[in-house]
Structure 1
Amino acid sequence: MNSQQLRQGAIGLVVPAVAIVIWQAACVWGKIDPQMLPSPLAVAQKWVAYLLPLQPHTEGSWLAWAVSGEMILDSLTSMYRVVLGFLIGAGLALPLGLAMGASERVYRWFNLSMQLLRPIPPIAYIPLAMLWFGLGNPPALFLISLGAFFPVLINTIAGVRQVDGIYLRAARNLGAGGMTLFRRVILPAAVPYILSGVRIGIGTAFIVVIVAEMLAVNNGLGFRMLEAKEYFWTDKIMAGMITIGMLGLAIDTGVSRLNNYLLRWHRGLEH
């Protein structure tokens, strides 16, 4: 990481740091009900206790309460569902999107159905998912797959259909046709769009998994936050929210860097 990236990161931390200071000061001065909105220090203590492995209670230690180590298992469980659900959704969307983009006939067959289904949010399928699959991982994976499916599909179609006609005519003049044209010209030109869809799709999958875990499963970050709500553990709810934010940031950063690496040839053409 170079000095410019460090400077940009430091600038990005200014607003959160100021907000945390104001939040802590308001809690210390009694302006906020700690039951409704715990102080940042209380949330941080709960987050650490939520993270650490199970240990014997020690009298007089602030770690004596609620040290559970649940966060690691919950985070791994949620990430497993995100990855598997995304792979299912993207695995279905990518070939269909390529076919719809490359073939006008396939596009006419499927476009109306896709446009009718696309505006329906994955959350709206929750009752059907629970009726069809019951409880546990199957309904959660179904909802996550739906969340990932349409961003990948729409971006793949757009990428294939918006290939510059100059490239196609030049390839045809050089004798390319059929699968050669698709494999050597259309697919590489569509990759930036496809990877943008992947980035959006995996972000959507991560959002959907939290909702699915609140309703259909008995573990994961979403379930743990809903459980904390039942007992009015506001600090644990916020600790879970912080964990979700950190995981989401890590996923987006990782996918963004992967995109930049895979598209380094494309960046070079631009710059």
Structure 2
Amino acid sequence: MSQINRTVIATDSGLPSQSSDRSLASTSRLGARGLQLLSWLAPVLLVIIWESLAQVGWVSPQVLPAPSKVIRTAFKLATTGTLLNDLGVSLLRAAAGFAIGTAVGAGLGILVGFSRIAEAAIDRSVQMIRAIPFLAALPLVIVWLGVGEAEKIFLVALGVTFPIYINTVLGIRQVDPKLLELGRVQGLGSLQLIRRIILPGALPSILTGVRYALATAWLALVVAETIGAQSGIGFLAMDAREFLRTDVIILTIVIYALIGIAADGIARLLERRLLAWHPNYGAAR
């Protein structure tokens, strides 16, 4: 029997093929720490190449300052308190908007997920609002709420609502009907079905929505802080643009990237903790 046929038979029968065995063996040799180090290889190489090109003068400092220059700028702004103050303001705005958006998106998602009537009454309107770009809605939001904190938190909440809503509905609708039938046979009531079957089954999709929402929150905040802000990371970038401080602009971009990595790490930690029972999430990732 050929190697291809043996692989197909092993795959169809649910047994691991030789290629998957080799992949698992190589992964186990690397270990979790090795995989983490490998994930940072490309960013570190990029920074090294960037620094080298800047030092030999192949990249203009006015166009793209060296990473060492950006680090010195960060240290200077941190010692004066400017950077930490703006970072704290942006984090508070993002946290407030994320909490509001999550509550609204999860509430609407649960309602639509459990009720076809609610889907008919709500879903089309939600999808229409979701299709409106941030920049198109921004003038109207400014007319409604001005350019204060309410406008910024509202835009963040608006951006967060839709990923949470869509993935909550999807998670509830994807629960296996056979599991629900089994629960009813076992005598579980409606609340027990929700707590023991529907919620655990929908949780992977909901947490995926949380990861998307975290990224969307910062995108919305960047848009919000470019208009009428007097503090925040977005304000710091816009102020630096006026004075052609490309080192500060690069610094704000790096900060957004690092915050995104940290937020995604928190979401992955939640997945590992809340989905420890799930075979695809229980193992270290």
TM-score under structure 2 length normalisation: 0.83
Check conservation: 1:37, 1:234, Cα contact below 8 A: yes
Indicate the residue corresponding to 2:45 in structure 1: 18
Indicate the residue corresponding to 1:46 in structure 2: 73
Check conservation: 2:240, 2:246, Cα contact below 8 A: yes
- In 1, Cα distance between the equivalents of 2:135 and 2:32? 37
What is the DSSP-based 3-state SS (H/G/I as helix, E as strand, rest coil) of the residue aligned with 1:265?
A: coil
Indicate the residue corresponding to 1:60 in structure 2: none
> Is residue 106 of structure 2 the alignment partner of residue 94 of structure 1?
yes
Q: Which AA in structure 2 matches 1:15?
A: A
Check conservation: 1:50, 1:71, Cα contact below 8 A: yes
Check conservation: 1:123, 1:208, Cα contact below 8 A: no
Check conservation: 1:123, 1:143, Cα contact below 8 A: no
> Is residue 193 of structure 2 the alignment partner of residue 181 of structure 1?
yes
User: Quick one: percent identity of the two aligned structures?
Assistant: 33
Indicate the residue corresponding to 2:254 in structure 1: 242
Q: Which AA in structure 1 matches 2:136?
A: A
Instruction: Map 1:73-84 onto structure 2 (within 5 A).
Output: 73-84=85-96
> Is residue 230 of structure 2 the alignment partner of residue 230 of structure 1?
no
- Per-residue CA deviation, residues 146-198 of structure 1 (Å, 9 max, x unaligned), is 11000000000001111101111111222334333333322221111111111
Match of 1:8 among 35, 56, 61: 35
> Is residue 56 of structure 2 the alignment partner of residue 29 of structure 1?
yes
> Is residue 192 of structure 2 the alignment partner of residue 165 of structure 1?
no
After superposition, the Cα gap between the structure-2 partners of 1:94 and 1:222, relative to the gap in structure 1 and judged at 3 Å, is same
**Structure 1 residue 69: deviation in Å?**
2.2
**Structure 1 residue 268: deviation in Å?**
7.5
Indicate the residue corresponding to 2:227 in structure 1: 215
**Structure 1 residue 263: deviation in Å?**
0.9
Check conservation: 1:139, 1:216, Cα contact below 8 A: no
What is the DSSP-based 3-state SS (H/G/I as helix, E as strand, rest coil) of the residue aligned with 1:267?
A: coil
Q: Which AA in structure 2 matches 1:267?
A: P
Indicate the residue corresponding to 1:58 in structure 2: none
- In 2, Cα distance between the equivalents of 1:122 and 1:195? 24
Check conservation: 2:93, 2:152, Cα contact below 8 A: yes
- In 2, Cα distance between the equivalents of 1:11 and 1:4? 11
Indicate the residue corresponding to 2:9 in structure 1: none
Match of 1:129 among 124, 127, 141: 141
**Structure 1 residue 16: deviation in Å?**
2.3
Check conservation: 2:148, 2:228, Cα contact below 8 A: yes
TM-score under structure 1 length normalisation: 0.87
For structure 1, the residue ranges without an aligned partner over 5 or more in a row are 53-67
Indicate the residue corresponding to 1:142 in structure 2: 154
For structure 2, the residue ranges without an aligned partner over 5 or more in a row are 1-29
Residues paired across the two proteins, number: 255
Check conservation: 1:130, 1:216, Cα contact below 8 A: no
